[in-house]
Structure 1
């Protein structure tokens, strides 16, 4: 079995890490994200914890380029995080369009999780 990372996998992994890094910092600093978390019914502590997890997960996904098991855990964590985000969107009765980013990131991180699992 070929255990090398494909260019598509590497590109998806890096793009995913950049998105979560961006949103992690936004969760910590952006008034828009502060307002969104309030709308979600979440506390400031939960918002900050989510931001820290997103930043740490980004580092973990990137570390997966060298140590696949770390990437596996980070991508699986992001998959779970986005599933919770989707469920929150359902709970607060957001539209499917508003929930779409969580669905897309569930699929991307599920794909990354499987890819890392195959490398491990």
Structure 2
């Protein structure tokens, strides 16, 4: 079950995108219970010790995953090998493709380790 903080956001999500979005948010909440869920900039995201770890947003063609540029740079080859496209800040998970949860877990674990001593919300 997705944390209650995302209920209003999911209610406003297009019906054809809601199930996948909820599935991914629930997976993050379950796999990483130490992360704090929150809505900021009208987007669901997860933080650790008040620093950003990962965020999500919906577009017409994909669920966008935002691990910051460092996460994209670290896993660029794996992202492409998984069949996903990315920009400098976002990974695009097409609505019609399965979610590569192994890759998503690696990215989140990287951010947790890389930002363990970070005291700001974003990387500097």
Regarding TM over 0.5, the answer is no
Q: State which structure, 1 or 2, has the greater radius of gyration over its C-alpha atoms.
A: 1
TM-score normalised by length of structure 1: 0.28
Q: Normalized per residue, which structure has more strand?
A: 2
Higher relative contact order (CA 8 A, sep 6+): 1
